[in-house]
């Protein structure tokens, strides 16, 4: 494993996860309607988890001798705040995050601890995708 390559990928993930905090907090603030409370809680939970992921990834970057990025991936403002539109945006974001973690997994080499960490994040992102897909199903 090249520390330089994995640190670069982890910094990309860090920037994405930090943008997730911003994204999910914004979504929570924009939800309206009769089902607002449980959806807002879910988005707050997502923002908290994105912060935890960012913190863990940042710690791993420094453990590998790298420097955590101060950049934040831009969060587009679509001005479309219906629950379904927000969930579609969330689904796209989670799928992108899953790809970033899979790319990192391909770079870990013999570092079993880092491999397990990436696999754990892949599991969590997959669960988020499944949850978004379930919420988007309208009967």
13 exposure class (CB count in 10 Å sphere: 0-12, 13-18, 19+) = buried
- pLDDT truncated to tens, each residue of the chain (139 aa)? 569 999 999 999 999 999 999 999 999 999 998 989 999 999 999 999 999 999 999 999 999 999 999 999 999 888 888 999 999 999 999 999 999 999 999 999 999 999 999 999 999 999 999 999 999 987 5
Q: Could you give the angle at the alpha carbon of 137 between the alpha carbons of 133 and 139, nearest 5°?
A: 165
What is the Cα–Cα distance from 103 to 96, expressed in whole angstroms?
A: 11
What is the Cα–Cα distance from 19 to 29, expressed in whole angstroms?
A: 15
Q: Which residues of 117-126 are buried (b: 16+ CB within 10 A; e: fewer)?
A: bbeebbebbe
Domain spans, the chain: 3-136
Catalogue the E-assigned strands of 1-139.
none
- Tell me the pTM: 0.94
What are 76's two structure tokens? 């587009």
Q: CATH number for 3-136: choose from 1.10.3300.10, 3.40.50.300, 1.20.1260.10, 3.40.50.620.
A: 1.20.1260.10
């Amino acid at each position: 494993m090249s520390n330089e390559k994995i640190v670069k990928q982890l910094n990309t993930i860090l920037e994405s996860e930090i943008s997730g905090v911003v994204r999910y907090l914004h979504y929570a603030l924009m939800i309206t309607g009769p089902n607002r409370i449980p959806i807002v809680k879910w988005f707050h939970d997502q923002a908290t988890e994105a912060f935890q992921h960012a913190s863990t990834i940042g710690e791993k970057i420094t453990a590998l001798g790298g420097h955590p990025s101060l950049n934040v991936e831009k969060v587009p403002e679509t001005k479309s705040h219906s629950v379904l539109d927000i969930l579609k945006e969330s689904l796209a974001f989670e799928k992108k995050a899953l790809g970033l973690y899979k790319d990192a997994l391909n770079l870990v080499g013999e570092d079993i601890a880092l491999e397990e960490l990436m696999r754990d994040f892949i599991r969590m992102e997959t669960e988020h995708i499944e949850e978004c897909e379930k919420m988007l199903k309208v009967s």
